Amino acid sequence: MTSRWQFDDPPNTASFTTSFVLDGAPILRVYHDYDGGWQLHGPPDNLATPDVARIVSLGSMIAHDPSLCELHDLPNGWLAFRKSTKDRWKRQKNNPFPAYAENGYYLEDAVWMTKHRDDVHPPSEERRDNLEVGTYVKLLFRFAAEDAQRRDKQTERMWVLITHIDEDGNYIGTLASDPYNSSTLTWGDTIQFHPLHVMEILEEDGA
């Protein structure tokens, strides 16, 4: 393991791998789940069935394969893969939410943003996970690439009306604000988002 820990998650973070990896199979696929969990898998033919699943610490996997340090900034909801340990990691979006390359914007993780801004105060996890259709929530839209240097006027906080909840507990809604700094979005556009994106809930009078 490198002397300086680069991951946001601590070394003792519980992560999933398989008995194949623990028995020596190379790590060729890494998933950073949208809820922040890590999965580290071998070749595609090493199926990750429940009987071979194992829980390990993230730090032990870094010690096992130091090349995983290259993935310290892999965003939530993305995966990294390679054909062999001699190849470079490639990254790929692994979630249904907006991405700058596809949509011209992406949604900030409001919980993650609390580590970097003192004016972002998302609701509790319980409230974020149990919103109802018809609720207005405020999301943070960033009109720049996920890894771009941050500058003024790249982000806007806008309201979205929840219209549907999918089988995975993600929300679908329509934009209920007019963007000031971008023509990428307009009022009424459909937005799919995760509970982690919710930075504020519009409270009803008397709530």
Task: Please tell me whether residues 26 and 119 are part of one structural domain.
Answer: no
Task: Please tell me whether residues 79 and 136 are part of one structural domain.
Answer: no
Task: Please tell me whether residues 106 and 84 are part of one structural domain.
Answer: no
Task: Please tell me whether residues 31 and 121 are part of one structural domain.
Answer: no
Task: Please tell me whether residues 78 and 135 are part of one structural domain.
Answer: no
Domain boundary (93, 119, 149) is at 93
Q: ∠ CA 44-50-52 to the nearest 5 degrees?
A: 65
| Strand spans (E) along the chain | 14-18, 29-32, 38-41, 53-57, 78-81, 90-93, 106-107, 136-142, 155-165, 171-175, 190-193, 198-201
Domain of 163: which CATH number? Answer: 2.30.30
Task: Please tell me whether residues 188 and 123 are part of one structural domain.
Answer: yes
| Strand spans (E) along 49-89 | 53-57, 78-81
CA distance 164 to 174: 10
| Structure confidence at residue 2 (pLDDT) | 46
Domain boundary (93, 109, 125) is at 93
Residues of the chain falling short of pLDDT 70: 1-3, 205-207
> What is the tally of structural domains in the chain?
2
Task: Please tell me whether residues 185 and 104 are part of one structural domain.
Answer: yes
Asked whether residue 76 is assigned to any structural domain, the reply reads yes
Global pTM reads 0.75
> Tokens 């609701």 label which residue?
123
| Residue type at position 18 | T
Task: Please tell me whether residues 137 and 181 are part of one structural domain.
Answer: yes
For residue 57, the SS3 value is: strand
| Structure confidence at residue 3 (pLDDT) | 62
| Structure confidence at residue 186 (pLDDT) | 93
Give the domain extent around 46: 14-93
CB 123 within 8 A of CB 136: no
